[in-house]
Amino acid sequence: MAGSQYEQVLARLREASEILKLDPGIYKILAEPERTLETSLPVVMDDGRIEVFQGYRCQHSTARGPAKGGVRFALDVCLDEVKALASWMTWKCAVVGIPYGGAKGGVCVDPTKLSKNELMRLTKRYAYAIAPIIGPEKDIPAPDMGTNAEIMGWFMDSYSAVVGTLSPGVVTGKPISLGGSLGRREATGRGVMVTTRELLSVLGVSPQGMTCAVQGFGNVGSVAAEIAHGMGMKVVAVSDISGGLYNPAGLDIPAIVKHAAEHTVIAGYSAPGVTAISNAELLELDVELLIPAALQSQIVESNADRIKAKYIVEGANGPTSAEADKILEKKGIICVPDILANAGGVTGSYFEWVQNLQNFYWTETEVNTRLDNIMAKAFHEVWDFSKKLNLSLRTGAYMLAINKVSEAIRMRGIYP
């Protein structure tokens, strides 16, 4: 079963629910989102014509708190994708123990084809369209693929205009000057490396000299690669949408980060010993640690048997299919799942939201220390639970998350 992304989510939910012997009624609740909104977004373009874009917001669960999840601007955004990503957010928040449920949203658009003014008008129209179902105590969006801090600032302004009061807590990932949190941009990549550090610690493996490949060089992958480099790992390959770089002797990650900041992509970077490599080739390199931090469905049934890494720590959402999981398990590859490994982003967003609500702001050191504590604690909870029941880390993480959400549903009761 390759199936849709949402079918992939349900496959994981079914597997964990069967082991848990979950009440069938609770399963039915968790298998469908609480609420989905589809909206048509008319935008006046720079030349005066009107274009209409399709937008979505899905709230999977609010059993444990307000819904939380990013907003994507991409051509492949569709209802199936936002439902899948909203579900993952529910499990992610539960795994790390922050008081949110899952949501996701997006607009079907290529943001690179819009002028800055067109992008601002689209963002403000989208915020206006979903305003009835969002809010600091209902649903808090954040940046995701194709969106950034500036777009979140526009979003906050539009929502604030609708409700008639400045409302920084409606969205996270904002510019610092508008109530954003220090350390928020790096939080996902930092969380990936906290879980990596804890994994190596429980295995008794030193990161010094460990070979590592990172697929994806955006906010998540670049930060993870920098921290891995700082831990003494030999990062031999990185890639982004423009292609990949490989050097078996190790790459100069700070230099590549500088190049990417100046050119937006890693294409064009050159240094002695560095050769070009494709995203597909990167996944199959003979390295100890693989960090897929790009898109979903990268490790699938057709290539899983060729994966040589000993450890996979998922920086992206859903990079490994349910079918590939079985193959990786048979090969003895340890995989730290996305709902644990990349939960640093939503944890950082939670910190921003808390600061907004209190109107009291923390130092970057305070943010990073709190993030480290939460991610390390969550890793050990999943590790201990999984080892005790002889489960994969993914199944263990899902079971813990489902337990927490189903317990909240049971304790609250069904209304009315």
Cα–Cα distance measured from residue 183 to residue 371, given in angstroms and rounded to the nearest whole number: 10
* Annotated catalytic residue, options 68, 83, 92, 104: 104
Q: What is the mean pLDDT of residues 46-57?
A: 98
Give domain 187-341's CATH superfamily: NAD(P)-binding Rossmann-like Domain (3.40.50.720)
What is the band of 1 on the pLDDT scale with cuts at 50, 70, 90?
very low
pLDDT tens per residue, range 149-169:
999 999 999 999 999 999 999
Q: For the residues 300-307, what does the mean pLDDT come to?
A: 96
Residue 145's pLDDT is: 87
For 193-239, write each residue's pLDDT tens digit.
Answer: 999 999 999 999 999 999 999 999 998 999 999 999 999 999 999 99
Instruction: Please say whether the beta carbons of 171 and 159 come within 8 A.
Output: yes
Please state the domain extents for the chain.
36-167, 187-341
Q: Do domains 36-167 and 187-341 have the same CATH topology?
A: yes
For domain 36-167, the CATH superfamily is: Leucine Dehydrogenase, chain A, domain 1 (3.40.50.10860)
Percent of the chain with pLDDT over 90: 94
In the predicted model, what is the mean pLDDT of residues 62-68? 98
CA gap 93, 98 in Å, rounded: 5
Whether 310 is catalytic:
no
Closest CA to 393 of 408, 374, 378: 378
Q: For all residues of the chain together, what is the average pLDDT?
A: 96
Looking at residue 320, what DSSP letter applies? Answer: B
Q: Which of 190, 236, 192, 196 is nearest to 212 (CA)?
A: 236
pTM: 0.94
